[in-house]
Amino acid sequence: MSIIDLTCGSGGRNTHQLIVDVILKNLNYPELFNMGDAAYIGNFAFTTDSFVVTPEFFPNCDIGKLAVCGTSNDLTVAGARPEFMSLSLIIPEGYKKENLEKIIKSVRTSADEVNVQVVCGDTKVVDNMSLKSIIINTAGIGKIIKKLNDYNAIEVGDKIIITSDIARHGMAILLARGELQFNGSIESDCCHLYNLFKCLDYNCLNFARDATRGGIAAVLNEISEKCRKGFLLYEEDIVVKNEVKYLCEMLGFDPLTVANEGVSVIIVKRDKVEDVLKLVKKCNYGDNAFIAGEVIERQVVMLKTIYGGLRNVEMPSGLLLPRIC
Amino acid sequence: MKYIDEFRNPSIVNDILTSINKLVIKGRSYKIMEVCGTHTMAIAKYGLRDILPDNIDLVSGPGCPVCVISQGEIDAIFSLLEKEDVILFTYGDLMKTPGSNNESLLTYKAKGVDIRIILSPIDMLKEIENTNKELIFVSIGFETTSPANAILIKEMYKRKIKNFSVFPYNKIMPGIIDVILRDKDLNIDGFICPGHVAAVTGTNLFEPIVKKNRAAVVAGFEIIDILLAIRAIVLQVNNGTFRVENLYKRVVSDNGNSLARQHIDDVFEITSSIWRGVGSVERSGLALKDDFQQYNVLNKFDLIIESIYDKKGCKCGEILMGKKSPYECSLFSKECKPESPIGPCMVSTEGTCAAYYKYMVKSEHY
Amino acid sequence: MCLGIPAKIIKISEGFATVDIGGIEREVSTILLEDEPLIDEYVLVHVGFAISKLSEVDAEETLKFLKEFSDEIY
């Protein structure tokens, strides 16, 4: 591929390839190779993220809240307590001040929810030919409670907990865009995972990731490649809200490949799974949590369908394109 | 949701499976083709191959409208995008299809070409007032989709829109069914016939199948629909009496939808067309009638469709006809993957190879 | 070959109907339907067009057949 197309940024196989071929090839720092949600530096976890979303305001979320949650979630699932973050704004000329203020207020509200402080930032304004809507870039730092991005901690027989129903964020954005002429709204699942994690016993958690772009399918395939083990999911237990499920079906999407913004995959020991699930369900944002499956020896991500058949859950190859067929 | 969930009931699925298991005769094999790509996807998604008796062999047919568009037809779209500043409207299915130059609509979009994905052809109408640019619609699909495409073209005609044209790439079933049935090595016992095509054409379309002493069952797309169809095919094969059975009566009336067919007839006429991997097939495509030729993008922009041979090693032709499985293609899952498809069956997510790649559990075949 | 999903009619206007698919609405064209669409009926939607009405009687017949069939097995 000689130019970068949208599939290179959608969290699937092409994104992965681009990172390996261009970025890791030239930036071969050991910590970067982990490709975790955050890097570990001494006692701290350090992360960065960028947020580009149109529209900037959508049900239960906006780009400001998304930026704070996205950053703090990366730190949380790495096993750290989110503490400080930066905020860089790239704004197209002509952007309404009123909207910017709405976004910034939302940053504040969201940061307050987990006691994160925005401590540095930057503002750039660019001509509106080169940018249509606002972009936010962040970095975040937090003290490590327990490292949860260690692939060696994953063992065959461990169980997978998913902390919420899946695929809501991706479908919320798609509806909010209005391009496909649907009416109705789905609320994004965007939330602070730290408010869920803080009531868990970290000793019982072996590994965690948040399942953002590319959905559950992408994150499990990534983990599988790194830990050289596989996953078996049970379709029967996977929770997808009805409106999300039917909309996915109508467009030909697999909910496992649709983005989330407040959904974590947690891997725990088999004998601890019921206790952890019970706790998760009691925490904020965890009421729809479920046991999704288990770690298997063979390095492949599979799903046992409701009817007992097995199928592959492949790394999504790129963009979700609505199908007629 | 009504009409969906009751056709997914796991305990009924089990009952039908039990029945199929009882009905199949040991030592006999049943080779069943699902003509339609949406059936291929459903079969893969439900993991059906895994739970059916071993002697039922499901093979996939030529029912993916993107897969069967010829390489030359794709290249013609790209050559237009190279030379003219237009807005191209397409169904999402086509976005990743590679041309001979290894580009796709996605890469053209990345280079700045205005490409819009639509869910319905009439979504294009509201763009008319916003631009003077040429609005181009890639008209693909089988009998189910063609009436909608025809309505768009008629509406543009009625409104006397000049800056509109169409890539007329619709395919129809009769010719390709003939090709499959004429094959001297035809070893297919029965066909799961595409329910949504039948909703338009009626069930008569599949009579030629039973004349060849093969089973033909029109089926819906839920797991219970598909299993009932397989069971009905097994019964027909066991009894040696063949007829077109309609097991999707809640959607398909035996006569189909004559109004929809009328819309197709108003705009299109039946023609021969080139199917990827198969070649030219009589009575298998739709051309614009004279009144609507003004919208033929090929004439308007002097485009030619070159006949281009399929890539070396690619077995899509034989896979489309159910003669080979993707596992028998040496490119499958190696050079040819969903993110870098070589043949058409890997391009559309409902293509046989893509469905196999996406949903089949890695096994000794890899 | 053709993705279609049943949707419930909740509003009707000239040549169009608003349908509900699991809580999400979309306007679809009804000009391909041979019979007049009615509120609360289900239609099969493909590329923004209702191409067929769902027949409750026929669906029930299939389900009845399945029921008898299950009873027979046990």
Mind telling me how many Å the CA of C12 is from chain B's nearest CA? 18
Q: From the candidates C3, C28, C43, which should be mutated to test the interface with A, based on the most A CB atoms within 10 A?
A: C3
Mind telling me how many Å the CA of B85 is from chain C's nearest CA? 27
pLDDT in tens, chain A (325 residues): 478 988 888 887 888 889 999 999 999 999 998 888 999 999 999 999 999 999 999 999 999 999 999 999 999 999 999 999 999 999 999 999 999 999 999 999 999 999 999 999 999 999 988 899 999 999 999 999 999 999 999 999 999 999 999 999 999 999 999 888 899 989 999 999 999 999 999 999 999 999 999 999 999 999 999 999 999 999 999 999 999 999 999 998 999 999 999 999 999 999 999 999 999 999 999 999 999 999 999 999 999 999 999 998 988 877 888 888 8
Distance CA A126, CA A138 (A): 18
Residue B364 has pLDDT above 50, yes or no: no
Confidence of residue B365 (pLDDT cuts 50, 70, 90): very low
For A249, name the nearest residue in chain C, comparing CA atoms only: C5
Tell whether B1 lies on the interface with C, counting CB pairs under 8 A. Answer: yes
For C21, name the nearest residue in chain A, comparing CA atoms only: A246
Residues A112 and A181 in one domain: no
Contact yes or no for A182 and C22 at CB 8 A: no
Q: Specify the 3-state DSSP secondary structure of B339.
A: coil
Residue B335 has pLDDT above 90, yes or no: no
pLDDT of residue C1: 53
Residues A222 and A306 in one domain: yes
Nearest to A310 among B93, B338, B361 (CB): B361
Taking only the tens place, the pLDDT of each residue in B141-170 is 999 999 999 999 999 999 999 999 999 999
Which residues 6+ apart lie within 8 Å of B12 measured at CB?
A: B224, C66, C70
Determine, yes or no, domain membership for B234: no
Taking only the tens place, the pLDDT of each residue in B188-222 is 999 999 999 999 999 999 999 999 999 999 999 99
Mind telling me how many Å the CA of C3 is from chain B's nearest CA? 6
Contact yes or no for B18 and C73 at CB 8 A: yes
Domain ranges for chain C? 5-73
Determine, yes or no, domain membership for B214: no
Residue C45 has pLDDT above 90, yes or no: yes
Q: Which residue has the tokens 């260690």?
A: A150
Is the CATH number 2.160.10.10 carried by domain C5-73?
no
Residues A78 and A162 in one domain: no
Contact yes or no for C42 and B2 at CB 8 A: yes
Taking only the tens place, the pLDDT of each residue in C48-64 is 999 999 999 999 999 99
Please report, for residues A8, A110, A169, A261, B345, the alpha-carbon distance to residue A213 in angstroms, rounded to integers and kept in the order given. 11, 21, 10, 8, 26
Contact yes or no for C2 and A181 at CB 8 A: no
Which residues 6+ apart lie within 8 Å of B359 measured at CB?
A: A311, A312, B41, B44, B45, B47
The secondary structure element, H or E, covering residue A183 is: strand A182-183
For position B126, which CATH number holds? 3.40.50.11740
Which residues in chain A have Cβ-Cβ distances shorter than 8 Å to B348?
Answer: 323, 325
Tell whether A33 lies on the interface with C, counting CB pairs under 8 A. Answer: no
Which residues in chain B have Cβ-Cβ distances shorter than 8 Å to A323?
Answer: 91-93, 348-350
Q: Which amino acid is it at A285?
A: Y
- pTM equals 0.92
Tell whether B19 lies on the interface with C, counting CB pairs under 8 A. Answer: yes
Residues A85 and A157 in one domain: no
The neighbours of chain A, by the rule of 3 or more Cβ pairs under 8 Å, are B, C
For A305, name the nearest residue in chain B, comparing CA atoms only: B46
Average per-residue pLDDT in chain B? Answer: 92
More confident residue, C15 or C69: C15
Which residues in chain B have Cβ-Cβ distances shorter than 8 Å to C58?
Answer: 249-250
Helical residues (DSSP H) of B84-186, grouped into ranges: 105-110, 146-158, 173-182
Q: What are phi and psi for residue A79, nearest 5 degrees?
A: 100, 20
Contact yes or no for A323 and B92 at CB 8 A: yes
- Give me the numbers of helices (H) and strands (E) for chain B, helices first please: 15, 11
Contact yes or no for B35 and C66 at CB 8 A: no
Determine, yes or no, domain membership for B130: yes
Q: Specify the 3-state DSSP secondary structure of A156.
A: coil
Residues A227 and A300 in one domain: yes
- For strand B268-275 and strand B279-288, is the pairing parallel, antiparallel, or unpaired? antiparallel
Distance CA B236, CA B238 (A): 6
Nearest to C54 among B123, B228, B251 (CB): B251
- Is the ipTM beyond the 0.85 threshold? yes
CB contacts under 8 A, A 244-283 vs C, are 245-247, 249-250, 252
Please report, for residues B2, B17, B108, the alpha-carbon distance to residue B81 in angstroms, rounded to integers and kept in the order given. 44, 50, 8
Contact yes or no for C49 and B224 at CB 8 A: no
For A324, name the nearest residue in chain C, comparing CA atoms only: C3
A234 half-sphere exposure, CB direction, 13 A CA radius:
11
Mind telling me how many Å the CA of A275 is from chain B's nearest CA? 29
Determine, yes or no, domain membership for B80: yes
Phi-psi region of B135 (alpha: psi -120 to 50; beta: other; left: phi over 0): beta
Contact yes or no for C24 and A184 at CB 8 A: yes
pLDDT of residue C57: 95
Which residues in chain B have Cβ-Cβ distances shorter than 8 Å to A12?
Answer: 339
Taking only the tens place, the pLDDT of each residue in B274-297 is 988 788 999 999 999 999 999 999
Residues A158 and A64 in one domain: no
CB B348 within 8 A of CB B67: yes
Residue B75 has pLDDT above 60, yes or no: yes
More confident residue, C35 or B310: C35
What percent of chain B clears pLDDT 90, i.e. is strictly above it?
A: 72
Tell whether A311 lies on the interface with B, counting CB pairs under 8 A. Answer: yes
Confidence of residue B366 (pLDDT cuts 50, 70, 90): very low
Residues A308 and A168 in one domain: yes
Tell whether A239 lies on the interface with B, counting CB pairs under 8 A. Answer: no
Contact yes or no for A319 and B359 at CB 8 A: no
User: Closest Cα partner for A262 from A45, A2, A65, A9?
Assistant: A65
Tell whether C10 lies on the interface with A, counting CB pairs under 8 A. Answer: no
For position A166, which CATH number holds? 3.90.650.10
Which residues 6+ apart lie within 8 Å of C10 measured at CB?
A: C17, C18, C19, C20, C25, C39, C40
Tell whether C8 lies on the interface with A, counting CB pairs under 8 A. Answer: no
Contact yes or no for C21 and A246 at CB 8 A: yes
pLDDT of residue B360: 67
Residue A86: domain span:
34-144
Domain count, chain A: 2
Of A127, A144, A161, the one marking the end of a domain is A144
pLDDT of residue B310: 67
Average per-residue pLDDT in chain C? Answer: 93
Residues A170 and A208 in one domain: yes
Domain count, chain B: 1
Which residues in chain A have Cβ-Cβ distances shorter than 8 Å to C22?
Answer: 242-243, 245-247
Of A89, A121, A144, the one marking the end of a domain is A144
CB C23 within 8 A of CB A184: yes
Of A84, A118, A144, the one marking the end of a domain is A144
Mind telling me how many Å the CA of C43 is from chain B's nearest CA? 8
Which residues in chain B have Cβ-Cβ distances shorter than 8 Å to A18?
Answer: none
Which residues in chain B have Cβ-Cβ distances shorter than 8 Å to A304?
Answer: 47
Determine, yes or no, domain membership for B158: yes
C44 burial class (0-12, 13-18, 19+ CB within 10 angstroms)?
Answer: buried
For A13, name the nearest residue in chain B, comparing CA atoms only: B339
Residues A231 and A178 in one domain: yes
pLDDT of residue B27: 94
Nearest to C1 among B16, B36, B260 (CB): B36
